[in-house]
Structure 1
């Protein structure tokens, strides 16, 4: 594996909040660092409307332990701020009027108007943790009232290297050696797959897809109402999960409210916690994202990490698409005429979390019946698309990832963990607006893994095992030493920043699954650790 660009680490720093004052803000101290990289580019691309004189701002504070943050509460009270903290959580939300925040932290907070017309507050500076809070506060997030987001727009094409104008459900299951499990009755029965979505779907498309391929009709459970009009993303996710696990319950959770106003990551955490309470032990699939990792500090994502960890404890497995910008997630899909820079390399922030399984993308070749022939990393230069991947600027390398890729930054979380077909020229069939189409993207790869996990969970429960829950430690343990070969190693191709190669790589992770072998390996580990 050869890195073409080295990703530099951001230093998580601090910020907090305070009510409105009529006194002018103090001058900015040299000790307050100006944030650079994609964050600075976001502000530079927006119109500066001047100082934010009114309205509340908020940011996230990470704590050194789970105990009540008495020092923080006292400090914020002295500065006329408020704190929201949930017992046993290692983070809190601090908020107050924008001018008081600016005064307390010796920073500027301005209002901006973005290119899409959105008005938001932001500080170009990242203050350190106040000295009075060093014993209790580990870090503080950005002062930023806008959360860039992405929803993949699957490319619709005529397929080249798979049979009969795209993979049928049978061929898709066959490609990843799951069809014999399906014919034996392991179809996801008794499991639930949750799809978090920014867009809607049309029930008529789901009915047509099911009828066309001889699958039972299904009606998803819809939580929070339709996010928007029917689009390819959610339609594709539902149909791919149904193709692999037709008897699993499918749930669509409207995630669009997390984009309204500020505090997106707190809202995401609340959404995940509510989903966990209603559907404990479900399998989650994210084909959406909330901005590149270089826009934030690790503190910003603390509410999401807590919610994912709690869901794991209840049996949930979470998959997130690694992104479709070929390792340049921080470029944002804009200005592709300019050569990429170090600031462009990056990861989708949520996909980079150690608590989710990040899924990269491949180009797949099969026989006429769908039997696997070969895969390589998905990278389509003319479309400026490809599998996301790289090293995190926010999170340390988890213990379960320490033994792979010694040539990569040894201290940082690596993405993706695994992969599946994403190339729209070699992907699965869907029905959209009553048309037979083929779509792709890593937003296809994540629900493929979600559907396969539903099948594996049913099999495990039927054979004396248990639901998989947090799958990442299992994946890396199996890759290192397992009775059966569970992964097809992807050694060809790359993305805009890294090459695929033998073993783990920063484009396709551990590789793509041989599901029949993978589930046997998981069952063996579960029985050995009972």
Structure 2
């Protein structure tokens, strides 16, 4: 249209070319995506990534009506609101807040023009995963991709040199580009055999000590999801159930982006077994959906979006994560949108707060500065810290202290987020940034979990056991209260700040999570950044959740 008008005006050819080029450029200028600079790219650069190297990546698309979504997430957990527990279906969420089909098509067409392969759009249209060569990514996003070496740990990784740039028409629908760096490989607690467990915990001990044996619920009819980046052998789960005479529901693997590790699990197998078996300890009849994805930021995003768009589960246990500095704000905020989607649909998420005290980046970047783990730091997740559980001769609850086994065993994670603002329900604890953890559970060597993995029975520990412990309790609550409960943090903080706190929680008042020579936080009366509000008193908290 513009060209025909210019020709009609008989503009001289050189001027015509200048005006045409300028018109095209101004029509769709490049826009840098704020907050999308690569994390840790200040490390030593050692040259360009080979142009032909294949790199998995993803686009996270923008949500609509985000202020209305924030209000809904508050109202859906407010007993005084007409919206209380009126959760949305995935279709309702997408219609109200999600990207339109036209917006998703626009992003897909951009990727196709850029040469991307294997393009997959999440069911809710919020994420688009793909693969492309480094050269194609550099051309599409106008940034060089270099090889880097972490100057502290010596770990080699690739990363974009600058924030990606997109044509304005595409940036209008895209929030972030995820996966241009591969520093943030998701880690787990590396649970290992505990040689000096004082009294390893079994299903009978956990049910008695944490007060769930008297509940009129088993988890039957509830679906629990697991976030995993490795596989498991069903024979181990079956053997665990048989050992403790547990009548279990079904266990199914859900492959994300083609990942399925079950035929040959790696060193994360014990982690996956621990997650599933601890949920079985409290709520064996629940049905398990084990989501397995590639261990990358793109795989992580695809997994959380699939959990939300599938809406097969109402409780999710998470024991894998990254310290916030390694994850980066773009990737964290992209996943947080998926978590917000799930909570709007009634899903409850529980994530391990980490096993490195307040130095969550120590194993990933070598930094011993205070840092917290993601996704436990997401406001849409209940972050779970660690305790040392002591029971009496009848397996009843005796006491708990903050888990801190020192350098040989780890310490419960806790601290202050650098990415997320304090949510409204945490206003009495913080008016600036989100604090973690929210709650806690058994995680210590001395009260390690007895599990079966690789055909062997052993005792393992870490907040990787505390997260599925809470997920198992939430599964029981789904049955008791006849449906999904969504983000339980608002309820937890309301109880914690009220007069009934002592009947719902075991307040942990001793110990600290000082670790790696970095001063941490000390437990005390009420909320603290070692164990949150503490562990659950099953029957008491069940009544208060109602």
TM range (shorter): 0.7 to 0.9
Structure 1 residues 418 and 132: alpha-carbon distance in aligned structure 2, compared to 1, 3 A threshold: same
Where do residues 20-39 of structure 1 align in structure 2 (5 Å cutoff)? 39=40
Match of 1:223 among 248, 254, 263: 254
Does residue 1:180 correspond to 2:214, yes or no? yes
Partner of 2:69: none
Partner of 2:47: 49
Does residue 1:251 correspond to 2:289, yes or no? yes
Structure 1 residues 399 and 129: alpha-carbon distance in aligned structure 2, compared to 1, 3 A threshold: farther
Looking at structure 1, the residues matched to 126 and 231 of structure 2 have their Cα atoms a distance apart, in angstroms, of 35
**What is the Cα deviation at residue 53 of structure 1?**
4.1
Looking at structure 1, the residues matched to 213 and 333 of structure 2 have their Cα atoms a distance apart, in angstroms, of 39
Q: Structure 1, residues 426-445: CA drift from partner, whole Å, max 9, x if none? A: 13322334443221100000
Looking at structure 2, the residues matched to 311 and 53 of structure 1 have their Cα atoms a distance apart, in angstroms, of 37
Partner of 2:319: 287
Q: Structure 1, residues 59-99: CA drift from partner, whole Å, max 9, x if none? A: 656758467798x979x97xx86999989978888998756
Looking at structure 2, the residues matched to 198 and 138 of structure 1 have their Cα atoms a distance apart, in angstroms, of 25
Looking at structure 1, the residues matched to 427 and 165 of structure 2 have their Cα atoms a distance apart, in angstroms, of 30
Looking at structure 2, the residues matched to 117 and 333 of structure 1 have their Cα atoms a distance apart, in angstroms, of 10
Partner of 2:307: 272
Residue pair 2:179, 2:298 contacting (<8 A) in 1 also? no
Where do residues 442-461 of structure 1 align in structure 2 (5 Å cutoff)? 442-461=463-482
Matched position secondary structure for 1:235: helix
Partner of 1:511: 534
**What is the Cα deviation at residue 129 of structure 1?**
9.7
Partner of 2:407: 382
Partner of 2:496: 479
Q: Structure 1, residues 220-259: CA drift from partner, whole Å, max 9, x if none? A: 222234444273212222221111112212232223x243
Where do residues 359-398 of structure 1 align in structure 2 (5 Å cutoff)? 359-383=384-408, 385-398=410-423
Where do residues 114-193 of structure 1 align in structure 2 (5 Å cutoff)? 121-126=158-163, 143-161=180-198, 165-181=199-215, 185-193=216-224
**What is the Cα deviation at residue 403 of structure 1?**
1.7
Looking at structure 2, the residues matched to 512 and 127 of structure 1 have their Cα atoms a distance apart, in angstroms, of 43
Where do residues 349-428 of structure 1 align in structure 2 (5 Å cutoff)? 349-383=374-408, 385-404=410-429, 406=430, 410-428=431-449
RMSD: 4.1
Looking at structure 1, the residues matched to 288 and 123 of structure 2 have their Cα atoms a distance apart, in angstroms, of 32
Residue pair 1:141, 1:296 contacting (<8 A) in 2 also? no
- Give the TM-score normalised by the residue count of structure 1: 0.74
Residue pair 1:321, 1:442 contacting (<8 A) in 2 also? yes
**What is the Cα deviation at residue 316 of structure 1?**
1.6
Does residue 1:110 correspond to 2:177, yes or no? no
Matched position secondary structure for 1:110: strand
Matched position secondary structure for 1:253: strand
Structure 1 residues 267 and 106: alpha-carbon distance in aligned structure 2, compared to 1, 3 A threshold: closer
Does residue 1:298 correspond to 2:332, yes or no? no
Looking at structure 1, the residues matched to 368 and 435 of structure 2 have their Cα atoms a distance apart, in angstroms, of 20
Residue pair 1:159, 1:427 contacting (<8 A) in 2 also? no
Structure 1 residues 171 and 117: alpha-carbon distance in aligned structure 2, compared to 1, 3 A threshold: same
**What is the Cα deviation at residue 357 of structure 1?**
1.2
Structure (1/2) with the larger helix percentage: 2
Match of 2:272 among 231, 234, 239: 234
Residue pair 2:449, 2:460 contacting (<8 A) in 1 also? yes
Structure 1 residues 127 and 220: alpha-carbon distance in aligned structure 2, compared to 1, 3 A threshold: closer
Matched position secondary structure for 2:349: strand
Partner of 1:22: none
Looking at structure 2, the residues matched to 265 and 309 of structure 1 have their Cα atoms a distance apart, in angstroms, of 15
Unaligned runs of 5+ in 1: 1-31, 524-530
Match of 2:486 among 446, 464, 469: 469
Does residue 1:430 correspond to 2:451, yes or no? yes
Structure 1 residues 483 and 148: alpha-carbon distance in aligned structure 2, compared to 1, 3 A threshold: same
Does residue 1:209 correspond to 2:240, yes or no? yes
Looking at structure 2, the residues matched to 212 and 97 of structure 1 have their Cα atoms a distance apart, in angstroms, of 49
Q: Structure 1, residues 390-414: CA drift from partner, whole Å, max 9, x if none? A: 111111111111122x4xxx31111
Looking at structure 1, the residues matched to 285 and 122 of structure 2 have their Cα atoms a distance apart, in angstroms, of 37
Matched position secondary structure for 1:179: coil
- Give the TM-score normalised by the residue count of structure 2: 0.72
Looking at structure 2, the residues matched to 139 and 413 of structure 1 have their Cα atoms a distance apart, in angstroms, of 22
Residue pair 2:360, 2:372 contacting (<8 A) in 1 also? yes
**What is the Cα deviation at residue 454 of structure 1?**
1.2
Looking at structure 1, the residues matched to 498 and 331 of structure 2 have their Cα atoms a distance apart, in angstroms, of 36
Residue pair 1:155, 1:441 contacting (<8 A) in 2 also? no
Alignment coverage as a number of residue pairs: 460
User: Quick check: which has more Rg, 1 or 2?
Assistant: 2
